Amino acid sequence: MERFTVATYNVNSIRTRLPLVLEWMEKVKPDVLCLQETKVADDKFPVGEFEMAGYKVICRGHGGRNGVAVVLKEEPVEVQFGLDDGEEPDEDRLIKVKLPNGIYIVNTYVPQGRSPDSEMFAYKLRWFDRLKGYFERHFDRDQWLVWCGDMNVAPEPIDVHNPKRLLGHVCFRPEVWEAFERVKSWGFVDLFRKFHPDEPGHYTFFDYRVPKAVERGLGWRVDHILATEPLAQRCVDCWIDIEPRKAKRPSDHTPVVAVFEI
């Protein structure tokens, strides 16, 4: 039996958050860390700093916005960027890696959707359906597969601090619940909920614009780690790590960690 740790973290700029991320990695020592909103072009990604810490970096970004990366201890045996269905691939929103131990990781930064009546919201819904097609084409549900990232969906009323007031938001309304569920129902288990069923008040995102949001508990659970059934059975713990929220300049998101015995 081997301990295997995966984490997901929307860092909101990897260059700004680099010291915080490196310090956090020293504590948690994840085998794989999936990053979103790195907001940096590939040639400016701080690869050397992660290599100094003993990690490889797979990244895709163009600077400014979006950007994803997978930071990992072992060189992956397979890497793919973006959706490969012939539409806009969005390479700065999806990375797939296959690890030497046979586990696949798909790291996604799902489009946020801006407003319900916008073209970006329609794009978000379509993105989930394209992602379902991606999983259907590339995988079987009996494989060891992790899907993690910033999904921009709070799947249940217990995943937001005020479900009545927030109902209708692009991350909390029936169309996104259904779109997310269509992907999930292909064969994924929400690992945080596996260990904390029906528990409200666990959040991964706090809007910078809401005064004292963290202190007041005004959060959302929109960052997730899911796994196919056979791998979910090997998961022994999954938690939201609130420590990085206490930093001087925290990201508006916090990491989620899952531990497997494989």
Residues annotated as part of the active site:
109, 150
The residue (of 204 and 228) whose beta carbon lies closer to DNA is 204
Contact 125, 119 (CB under 8 A): no
Q: DSSP letter for 49, please.
A: H
The residue (of 12 and 228) whose beta carbon lies closer to DNA is 12
Pairwise CA distance, residues 188 & 145, whole Å: 9
Size of site (CB under 7 A) for DNA: 21
Pairwise CA distance, residues 117 & 126, whole Å: 14
In sequence order, the β-bridge partners of residue 70 are 34, 58
**Considering the rule CB under 7 A, would residue 112 count as an interface residue with DNA?**
yes
Half-sphere exposure of 163 (CA within 13 A, CB side): 12
Task: Select from 8-16, 95-103, 135-143, 223-231 the region that touches DNA (CB under 7 A).
Answer: 8-16
Task: Select from 59-67, 135-143, 177-185, 192-200 the region that touches DNA (CB under 7 A).
Answer: 59-67
Binder among 164, 209, 212, 246 for DNA (CB under 7 A): 209
Q: How far is the CB of 39 from DNA (least distance, A)?
A: 4
Token representation of residue 119: 């073209």
**Considering the rule CB under 7 A, would residue 120 count as an interface residue with DNA?**
yes
**Considering the rule CB under 7 A, would residue 221 count as an interface residue with DNA?**
no
- 160's CB contacts (< 8 A; 6+ apart) are 154, 166, 172, 203, 219, 220, 221
**Considering the rule CB under 7 A, would residue 114 count as an interface residue with DNA?**
yes
**Considering the rule CB under 7 A, would residue 52 count as an interface residue with DNA?**
no
**Considering the rule CB under 7 A, would residue 64 count as an interface residue with DNA?**
yes
Q: Taking the CB of residue 10, how many other CB atoms lie within 10 A of it?
A: 25
Token representation of residue 170: 């692009």
Q: Which residues bind DNA (CB under 7 A)?
A: 12-13, 15-16, 39-41, 63-66, 111-112, 114, 120, 208-211, 249, 252
